[in-house]
Homo-oligomer: A and B are copies of this chain.
Amino acid sequence: MRYELYYWPEIQGRGEFVRLVLEDADCDYVDVGREPDGYDRIQAVLSGERDGVLPLAPPVLYAGSIVVAQTAAIASFLGGRHGLAPSSEAGRLAALTIALTIADLVAEVHDTHHPTTVEQGYETQKEAARDRAAAFRRTRLAKFLGYLERNLERNGDVLVGSAVSYVDLAAFQVVEGLSYAFPRAMKRMSADVPRFLALRDRVAQRPRLLRYLTSPRRLPFNEQGIFRHYPELDG
């Protein structure tokens, strides 16, 4: 069965957490947004032209009669199907717990450049962004990364269970994104989260993931996505 991922074609964004699972699991999928008529097809699903639950926003995954939106839910679903999630119920719930906490971190990163409204650009809310980003660097970044570090201390080489899961792929993406967006803040933190950074390095060496990361399918970070590099927000 061929998966259909609906996500904006110009950015990694939240869709990248799904793409990493699809690529690492070697799934047959189409990245619909990057097809010639991709934008129209995204708008069509958001306007309700397909059956099943209506999604509010991309990413959305169609898998036969299954429709699932929300990044962590999609990654959990795919991980469970393709050997990238723990098999026990306790393990699956632990994985979802961490994945949703990472989703919260991603939302907070987004709000560093859009603290007031997503309807207008960063340029219209730079002052509020400066304040929010300062608070993010001062307390939230260390809180989230310290949390992931502590789970690695408790569990071992991976965040949940005994093998790499979709949650570890998400952790990889978080390191990549934060290192792009907040290089100075991340450098200051690096000594405090050695296990977390080492996990990133191990994940990056997975053959299928490495092949993806060095392919044209891997979009570069930019200032339209979630992880944006605005030096004035990096302290």
Please give the residue numbers on chain A whose beta carbons come within 8 Å of chain B beta carbons, in ascending order: 48, 52-56, 65-70, 72-73, 77, 89-90, 93-94, 96-98, 100-101, 104, 107, 111, 115-119, 128, 131-132, 135, 138-140, 143-144, 147, 150-151, 154-155, 160
Contacts and interface: CB of A to CB of B under 8 A. Distances in A.
Contacts of A77: 93
Given A48-B150, A52-B90, A117 B97 contact: no
Shortest beta-carbon contacts, A-B, top 9: A117-B135, A53-B94, A70-B100, A68-B93, A69-B97, A73-B96, A66-B90, A56-B147, A116-B131
A135 B115 CA distance: 11
Given A66-B89, A111-B111, A48 B154 contact: yes
Contacts of A73: 93, 96-97, 100
24 contacts: A53-B98, A53-B151, A53-B160, A56-B104, A56-B144, A56-B147, A66-B89, A68-B94, A68-B97, A69-B97, A69-B100, A70-B96, A70-B101, A73-B97, A77-B93, A115-B115, A115-B128, A115-B132, A116-B135, A117-B132, A117-B139, A119-B135, A119-B138, A119-B139
A130 B93 CA distance: 37
A118 B140 CA distance: 9
B135 A55 contact: no
A140 B56 CA distance: 11
Q: Is the interface of A mostly helix, strand, loop or mixed?
A: helix
Contacts of A93: 53, 66-68, 73, 77
A56 B116 contact: no
A135 B48 CA distance: 25
A111 B128 CA distance: 13
A150 B54 contact: yes
Given A48-B150, A48-B154, A116 B128 contact: yes
